[in-house]
Chains A and B, each alone.
Chain A
């Protein structure tokens, strides 16, 4: 009964390819997020969606495009992958302000 599930867990791809990471939550939360964890383990927010509406869009290259078909799903599509995109990408969801986030298990993306 996974609360926040991401697929795939691992993704190895060549430079220039386009790839997608899917995220689904069954917690009934209104808000979902994408975070990037770099090689030094630093976690930085990329996007947040509240009830399918984009709320936060940090300084992320426009090769990254989030899509939220409904409030339980938030997918991340990446065009023209670059070596520097290699990282772990976490999806998360949250209920009302003041609560912590529930994270997915992460997707390790390796661009070769």
Chain B
């Protein structure tokens, strides 16, 4: 049974659009939720979220965590073609010392 579920699976938008990517999780001893962007090789870190309701921002990207409803969203405003990538959500539990990844959302931004 999937512990981390991302939606949508894929998304095609045009430059300038705003997108919202979703990540829901179900784990026992939640420690943190992480967002990564993956282009061709290794995932690159975007955000680490540990507390509910506190928005983290980096330029046009922002993310927030809801620990009561067990989900997180990643927003990208004014999308650019360089935002095209797979966006990965992962959850870390206190027990096990590992990240459990969702299936990813493939975003394509068209000019």
A, B assembled together: no
Question: Which positions in B face A, CB cutoff 8 Å?
Answer: none
